[in-house]
Amino acid sequence: MRKRDLDRFRKVLEERRAALEERTERAAGEGRETVTQGGEDYVDDAVTQYAREFLLSLSDLERKQLQLVEDALERIDDGTYGECITCGENVSEVRLKAVPWAATCVKCQEIAERGNSMMLGGPSHADGDE
Ligand SMILES: [Zn+2]
């Protein structure tokens, strides 16, 4: 990959990392707040529990993404950015533009996703509209 492109992806990734760090810290803070407010007065325990789990899972997801972004930045430093970590083929630039922290090519990603949903016993309901 050309240095100019690498620099551009590095910048995108660094911005993403900063945004994620801020969000995960804020989500962690809000999670604590919800917990300390308890369910004593007007908030139903179940609602509080739900809100807490939602915030925890949100920050969990974002922590995972943060890890992916950091790995991608390391690969830029190593000079392996843009190569699929599974098969070694080049990851298409279209994919990198859409998902700059992508560590695998589309083919390997699909295989991994199929494996995951098989492990979970079916398609996941966690992809997003709620
Ligand atoms: Zn691959």
Question: How far, in Å, is the centroid of ligand 1 from the Cα of 91?
Answer: 7
Confidence of residue 130 (pLDDT cuts 50, 70, 90): very low
For residue 129, being part of any structural domain is answered with: no
- Alpha carbon distance 104, 87 (integer Å): 8
CATH number for the domain spanning 8: value is: 1.20.120.910
Domain range spanning residue 98?
3-119
For residue 37, being part of any structural domain is answered with: yes
Which of 36-45, 58-67, 94-103 shows the lowest mean pLDDT across its residues?
36-45
More confident residue, 33 or 17: 17
For residue 63, being part of any structural domain is answered with: yes
For residue 128, being part of any structural domain is answered with: no
For residue 124, being part of any structural domain is answered with: no
Question: How far, in Å, is the centroid of ligand 1 from the Cα of 90?
Answer: 8
For residue 78, being part of any structural domain is answered with: yes
Question: How far, in Å, is the centroid of ligand 1 from the Cα of 92?
Answer: 10
Contact predicate 13/69, CB 8 Å: yes
Which DSSP symbol is given to 42? S
More confident residue, 25 or 67: 67
More confident residue, 37 or 107: 107
Tokens 């690969």 appear where?
A: 75
Confidence of residue 87 (pLDDT cuts 50, 70, 90): very high
Question: How far, in Å, is the centroid of ligand 1 from the Cα of 111?
Answer: 9
For residue 103, being part of any structural domain is answered with: yes
Question: How far, in Å, is the centroid of ligand 1 from the Cα of 41?
Answer: 53
Question: How far, in Å, is the centroid of ligand 1 from the Cα of 98?
Answer: 16
pLDDT digits (tens, 9 = 90+) for 92-128: 999 999 999 999 999 999 999 898 776 665 554 545 4
Domain count, the chain: 1
Question: How far, in Å, is the centroid of ligand 1 from the Cα of 122?
Answer: 23
